[in-house]
Structure formats: structure tokens, C-alpha cells
Amino acid sequence: MSDDLLPDLLAAVEQQLVSPQTQYVVKTYQRLLKRGIEEAEAKSQIALCLAEEMENVMRRKRSFNEKSYRAALDELPIVSEDD
């Protein structure tokens, strides 16, 4: 993901965290926090999932796939090799 896009993706995540239509994002965020992940890192990990889905939209010229996005969120947290 381009660092240039990160602020926009994080803004989208912030919107999803307050939207009644995306409660699954809130649940993912809360799950990550309960696992001890810092707020900023949790939002960044969610943003990475959103970026991946948006890349698929653009590359494959298809609609946003909420099911795919949810599946990616379910796979979080992303664990670095340092952990």
C-alpha cells in the first residue's frame, strides 16, 4: 500500500467505525484491541484489508466485495515475523 493512500484509508476506517452499516469493522477493531494491539495499529491493519479490497476493485474492474473484505478482517491480526 502506498504511504500516500494511508491517510485516506485511515479516514475511511474511521468512518466505518461510526457507521451502523459496518458494525463488523467495529467488532474487528474491538477484537484487535482486546488482543493488546494499539489503537493506531489496529486501524492500520483494518486499512490494509480495505486497501487490498480496493486494489481488487480497480485491478479486476468489479464492485466492492463486502464478503471478501469481511473475510480479510476475520484473518486479522497481521503478525510480524518479529513477534
- Check whether 8 has a pLDDT greater than 80: yes
Look up residue 46 and give its three cell numbers. Answer: 483494518
- Render pLDDT for 24-54 as a digit per residue (tens, 0 to 9): 999 999 999 999 999 999 999 999 999 999 9
- Render pLDDT for 52-80 as a digit per residue (tens, 0 to 9): 999 999 999 999 999 999 999 999 999 87
Whether the bond between 7 and the residue before it is cis, its omega within 30 degrees of 0, is no
Split at pLDDT 50, 70, 90, the class of 4 is confident
pLDDT at 80: 76
Distance CA 83, CA 71 (A): 23
Domain ranges of the chain: 6-74
pLDDT at 83: 56
Greater pLDDT, 1 or 10: 10
- DSSP string covering 20-74, please? GGGHHHHHHHHHHHHTT--HHHHHHHHHHHHHHHHHHHHHHT----HHHHHHHHH
